[in-house]
Chain A
Amino acid sequence: MGPEYGDAVKRKILVTGASGQDGFYLIDLLRKQGCVVHAQSRRQTHPNLHQDGTHWHVGDPTDGDFLDSLIASVMPDEIYNFAAISRPVLSWGLPRETAEVNAFLPQQICELLLKHKPGCRLFQASSSEIFGDSADRVQDEQTLCVPKSPYGTAKLYAHRIIGAYRTQYGLHASTGILFNHESPQRPLSFVSQKIAYAAAAISVGLTHTSETDERGQPILRDGKIALGDLSVRRDFGFAGDYVEAMRLIVQHHTADDYVIGTGEDHSIEEFCNEAFSLVGHKWTDHVSVDPGLLRKVDSHYTHANAAKIRSVLNWRPKIGFRELVSIMVKAQINFIQSNAPLSGEPIIGHRSVEC
């Protein structure tokens, strides 16, 4: 981290969608850096969650009056907008709500900044889903956007509207085009966590789990986990590294768009292999493919070229793929064994969080 953090005047930071994975890591980082943190969530947060001076504001950010009074009362120096319907596959069933939250909320935040505090800096969580099935081998800030779901389309709206407000009004509004970022805080509905959970369950001798997948079936049944397309390749990073990148982006003198990724891609098969190897098992003994879980319209391949953020902001991910899988599997073993939250980490509170 740059030297400006240590002695800087205490900045007031507002994090929207703060009860999700990224909110968890960002708030942690901000607290360490001595910032005053205001966090917004749509529902009452888990009692374990950050009883450390973070100011929680419970309400729906797409409610214009709530958002207006939130920004007017906090008058933040920086806003990180994480509020989103976060699952591309769900967005088919909720296209309108996905647009309201993922596309129009960022625009509304820009409007409120113009009204209350044009000097406030804004970070918008863009997504590699805006690229869709990109023809490019690797994706950078110039890659053609071909979104493949209402989620990607809404995120693309947000991405471009931020750019338009930056140009039109000179707002310090940036976007980070985030590639898959995982952690022990990922909800179980995401494939990475599902695999980590299954490997952990196997390692403690379980063959059946009470936790269910999107089909409503146990994630582990007769010692097997059912997955979709194993050949999908993604650029997987660690969420804790990515929030540091976001913070750097906002501190930079000029607002801009940045790709945030590791520059490596791994298949779902590799993720399985890594996770099950860690607990001394062969993934092929425990993974089956359910054609029902295949997605007709989905990004098949993502691989970030993060050269820009590397050279401009000197950011590099610290956690590699193997370590990431290991952290996630160990956290799940810990969770299953204690059947309770890890000390200080409210995993239960996050499990069901989808949005």
Chain B
Amino acid sequence: MKKTALITGVTGQDGAYLAELLLSKGYSVHGIKRRTSLFNTDRIDHLYHDPHDKGYDLTLHHGDLTDSSSLIRIVQEVQPDEIYNLAAQSHVAVSFEEPEYTANSDALGPLRILEAIRILGLEKKTRFYQASTSELYGLVQETPQKETTPFYPRSPYAVAKLYAYWITVNYREAYGLFACNGILFNHESPIRGETFVTRKITRALARIKLGLQEKVYLGNLNALRDWGHARDYVEMQWMMLQQDVPEDYVIATGEQHSVREFLEVAAKEVNIAIRWEGEGVNEKGYDRATGQCIVEVDPRYFRPAEVETLLGDPAKAYRQLGWSPKTSFAELVTEMMREDLKVAQRDELVKQHGFKHFNYNE
């Protein structure tokens, strides 16, 4: 029988990859998107069809994690076998500016879904996946981080996700729900949100390469992260819900790189070699060929509660589910760089022909 899945945050990076994966596995896929006055379905445009056309199995619903009644209505209508909660205010720095909204959507959002499952009597039917995050580790207590590593969150985003993690465990233990946390380390792709550092770098380099932009301002160049490809990670999210027993898993590559390294590998892909000069906030990156300064540090992007280093240990996922990431760091960066180069080329073309184009400054 055809399975039905409900994805919150379907318009985001992970939502798009997961929807594609589940459709390829023959699921009937339902997604929740927030109402906005702008179209926000770019990432699932290739999967999505006019509702008047028949035969496609992706249905979108208007809803919001901060609105219990919308969630209860949708869950009741869809009667999903699996719910993937990928929706969140997912930006760490913004969570300091919008702490109340972050708590409401990232902490209470999952609670509202769990309560909806319970209230509708779907405890035996509906499995629940909660997108947890390596930001839970914050001030890391051991390296690498695994499922048993103590959490030490340092931002409203991470603290809200901490609540979501434990409330998911609470509901699993108390009500016997099939509910799991995937503790995802950074996962990127060509459709990563443009304000996240990886995408910010590849977009900027593409635009610098084509002369659409002069330079890029970054924060802590030495921050270390474990970067994987979102396409690999959503596969693991699905696998977690196919097991006999609900458990929590770290999803990571087990490999660590600095922001600087990411930048250098990306630059190389567009034939830019970078020469570094200066230190700390005065450090600058120059294009060796042209001598042009293309990278500067802006202390605005520093945070006292900075998370310096994250490195995941995906051994449990490999041992128990046979999962390991397929995409290497170099392949990830190259793919992102190539795609952003295409976008920049399109922008350049549009500009050359005198049509309106956007800078999309942060």
| Chain A partners chain B | yes
Interface residues, chain A, CB within 8 Å of chain B? 92, 95-96, 99, 103-104, 107-108, 111, 144-145, 147-150, 152-154, 156-157, 160-161, 163-164, 167-170, 296-297
Q: Mark B294-313, 1 if CB is under 8 A from A, else 0.
A: 00000000011100000000
CB distance from A108 to the nearest CB of B (A): 7
Give bound CA distance, A163 to B107, whole Å: 17
Whether B163 contacts A156 by the Cβ 8 Å rule is yes
B173 on the interface (CB 8 Å rule)? yes
Which B residues touch A99, using CB under 8 A? 107-108, 111, 163
Does B211 make an interface contact (CB < 8 A)? Answer: no
Contact yes or no, A297 B159, CB < 8 A: no
- Is the pair B305, A164 in contact by a Cβ cutoff of 8 Å? yes
Residue of B158, B163, B305 most packed against chain A (CB within 10 A) = B163
The answer to whether A145 and B163 touch (CB under 8 A), given A99-B111, A164-B155, is no
Whether, in the assembled complex, B160 has its beta carbon less than 8 Å from a beta carbon of chain A, the answer is: yes
CB pair A168 B304 closer than 8 Å: yes
Point out the residue from B154, B170, B304 that lies within 8 Å of A149, measured CB to CB.
B170
Q: Distance in Å from the Cβ of B49 to the closest Cβ of chain A? A: 37
- What does the 1/0 interface line of B241-285 toward A look like (CB < 8 Å)? 000000000000000000000000000000000000000000000
Q: Does B151 contact A (CB under 8 A)?
A: yes
In whole Å, how far is A255's beta carbon from the nearest beta carbon of chain B? 14
- Chain A nearest CB from B107 CB (Å) reads 7
Taking the closest CB of chain B, its distance from the CB of A114, in whole angstroms, is 10
Residue A297 contacts which of B153, B174, B303 (CB distance < 8 angstroms)?
B174
Note all chain A residues with C-beta closer than 8 A to B166: 147, 152-153, 156
B residues contacting the other copy or chain, number (CB 8 A): 29
List the B residue with the shortest CB-CB distance to A107: B99
Q: Which residue of A lies closest to B165 (CB)?
A: A153
Residues of A within 8 A of B305 (CB): 164, 167-168
Question: Is A145 within 8 A of B303, CB to CB?
Answer: no
Contact residue among A95, A147, A149, A160 (Cβ-Cβ distance under 8 Å from B111):
A95
- In the complex, number of A-B residue pairs with CB atoms less than 8 Å apart: 81
Q: Is the CB of B163 within 8 A of A157?
A: yes
Closest-CB distance, B158 to chain A (whole angstroms): 8
Tell me if B103 and A148 are in contact (CB < 8 A): no
Cβ contacts under 8 Å, A153 to chain B:
163, 166-167, 170
| A-B interface, 3 closest residue pairs, ranked by CB to CB distance from nearest | A153-B166, A167-B305, A157-B163
Residues of B within 8 A of A297 (CB): 170, 173-174
B339 within 8 A of A: no
> When the two chains form the complex, which single residue of B115, B156, B170, B174 contacts A107, counting CB atoms closer than 8 Å?
B156
Chain B residue with the shortest CB-CB distance to A158: B159
Q: B162 at interface (Cβ–Cβ under 8 A)?
A: yes
Q: Is B150 an interface residue (CB 8 A)?
A: yes
Establish whether residues A167 and B162, one from each chain, have CB atoms under 8 Å apart when the complex forms: no
The proximity string for B residues 44-55 relative to A, scoring 1 for CB distances below 8 Å and 0 otherwise, is 000000000000
Shortest B8–chain A CB gap in Å is 18
Name which of B100, B107, B170 has the most chain A CB atoms within 10 A of its CB. B170
Q: Does B96 contact A (CB under 8 A)?
A: yes
> Could you list 13 further interchain pairs (A-B, Cβ under 8 angstroms) beyond the known A96-B108, A153-B166?
A99-B108, A99-B111, A103-B103, A103-B163, A107-B103, A107-B156, A111-B100, A147-B166, A153-B170, A156-B163, A157-B107, A160-B162, A297-B173
Min CB distance, A174 to chain B, in Å?
17
Quick one: given A96-B108, A156-B166, A167-B154, are A161 and B159 in contact (CB under 8 Å)? yes
Cα distance, A68 to B154, chains bound together (Å):
25
| Contacting pair A156 B107 (CB below 8 A) | no
**A96-B111, A99-B107, A147-B170 known; A164-B156 Cβ under 8 A:** yes
Task: State in angstroms the CA–CA spacing of A152 and B163 once bound together.
Answer: 10
Could you say which residues of chain B place their CB within 8 Å of the CB of A147? 166, 170
What CA separation (Å) do A157 and B153 show in the bound complex?
10
Shortest Cβ gap from B306 to chain A (Å): 9
Question: Which residues of B lie under 8 Å from residue A107 when comparing CB positions?
Answer: 99-100, 103, 156
